[in-house]
Amino acid sequence: MARIVLGVTAGIAAYKAVSLVRLLVEAGHAVRVVPTEASLEFVGAATWQALTGAPAVTDVFNDSARVDHVALGQEADLIIIAPATADFIARAAAGLGNDLLAAVLLASKSPLIIAPAMHSEMLSHPATQANIATLEARGATVLDSPPGRLTGLDSGPGRMMEAEEIFDYVQHRIKSPPQDLAGRRVVVTAGGTREALDPVRFLGNYSSGKQGFAVAREAVARGAEVALVAANSSLRASAGVRRADVVSAQELREVVEGLAASADVVIQAAAVADFRPANYVPTKVKRADSPERVSLEMVENPDILAEMVAARQPGQVIVGFAAETGDAMASAFDHARSKAMSKGTDLTVANVVSEGQVFGEDNNDVIIFDGSGREVRRALGTKAEVASAIIDEVVSILVR
């Protein structure tokens, strides 16, 4: 059981914090909600008190004898801010202590998890990004703000992560993962590559990058020095992860080649395009310039995974991913098993992506094969849980 302070700031996403509190309390944690004054316009103090059995106050003078802000900060095993508005993030970055929640942060050395929630323009504003970077540099973990429905009819990045996702991350954080990758260098690829047709169109895939980002997060939590090569993903990398952004398969190849030479582990979770257009058109192809039917000539992209295996360093562990669909010839997992046997990787993580499964979802269901095609493990659950299972298998190879 952990002692958790949950700070709630004045955003419409405060309603999600109600579910988060319930999940944390049901898991046996002692939760103290510290709302900002304005947040009580969204969820009242009576709700927090009923859920936690503890007072929910905003005033630093509420219990002067106890010096509440100091006591809460010192006693907490973990502090979560969910939702965290742009205003509160700015105040926290500036080190202000002008309400109870801000003062608790100043009085605490506890781990801090921040779940931003705001409009897209506010999130992308240079001031907000600078404030987030400041908090991360101080050791805070700032969670993703995935695209989705915002207030009114607006959609875009800035939506607070769902309560269940935050809860899963908190549970994993509290468990204090083993530092079995300490001193190791890990390269992870994530997302989906895009192959340009003309300046405005591309061939791509539905990969969101969530699984690869979860793998990078798990690896750094277990002590590794992690380089993440992200293909077209707006997700936020964990603090401590060194990130490089790429667009095409060729760009990903070039970056990974430079990183893999000194890596102990390479995990190719990105969905890399097998083909690209043979001819890039430097100006937009217009309907009036084209016949009714358009033929597209394609050429193969390099097999990056095969190249990594061919160039592997002694003792290096290489993990591939196989996103498969079944067909008349074989099931999706049979195709993945064949890939595991032919690629020469140490592990192949296989999942079924038929009919929109997996891509962009928060959960995953994978089978991990070794290089001989033998099934070594099935992992089912959140992508964080699947990432933990993948890293477990990587560690088991490293320590042989």
Q: Which CATH number does the domain housing residue 353 bear?
A: 3.40.50.10300
| Residues 163 and 110 placed together within one structural domain of the fold | yes
| Residues 35 and 67 placed together within one structural domain of the fold | yes
Contact 350, 377 (CB under 8 A): no
C-alpha–C-alpha distance, residues 302 and 311, integer Å: 14
When pLDDT is cut at 50, 70 and 90, the band that residue 358 belongs to is low
User: What integer is the mean pLDDT of 199-217?
Assistant: 92
Beta bridge partners of 201: 198
pLDDT digits (tens, 9 = 90+) for 101-141: 999 999 999 999 999 999 999 999 999 999 999 999 999 99
- What was the pLDDT predicted at 172? 80
Higher pLDDT, 295 or 79: 79
| Residues 152 and 190 placed together within one structural domain of the fold | no
Residue 197 lies in a domain: yes
| Residues 165 and 248 placed together within one structural domain of the fold | no
Q: Is the pLDDT of residue 73 over 90?
A: no
Distances (CA, A) of 121 to 86, 157, 273, 363: 11, 9, 31, 29
Catalytic residue (choose from 62, 98, 131, 205) = 205
Note down the domain range covering 386. 185-398
How crowded is the C-beta side of 148, counted as CA atoms within 13 Å? 14
Q: Report how many helices (DSSP H) and strands (DSSP E) the chain contains, helices first.
A: 13, 19
Tell me the pairing of strands 195-198 and 201-203. antiparallel
Contact 362, 169 (CB under 8 A): no
Q: Alpha carbon 287 to chain centroid distance?
A: 39
Best-predicted range by mean pLDDT among 149-163, 167-181, 220-234, 339-353?
220-234
| Residues 124 and 200 placed together within one structural domain of the fold | no
Domain count across the chain:
2
| Residues 115 and 217 placed together within one structural domain of the fold | no
Q: Among 174, 198, 218, where does a domain finish?
A: 174
DSSP string, 284-302: PPPGGGS-SS----EEEPP
User: What integer is the mean pLDDT of 330-359?
Assistant: 81
pLDDT digits (tens, 9 = 90+) for 24-66: 999 999 999 999 999 999 999 999 999 999 999 988 776 554 5
Structure tokens at 349: 């993580």
Exposure pattern of 107-117 as b/e (b: 16+ CB <10 Å)?
Answer: bbebbbbbbbb
| Residues 238 and 332 placed together within one structural domain of the fold | yes
**301 catalytic per annotation:** no
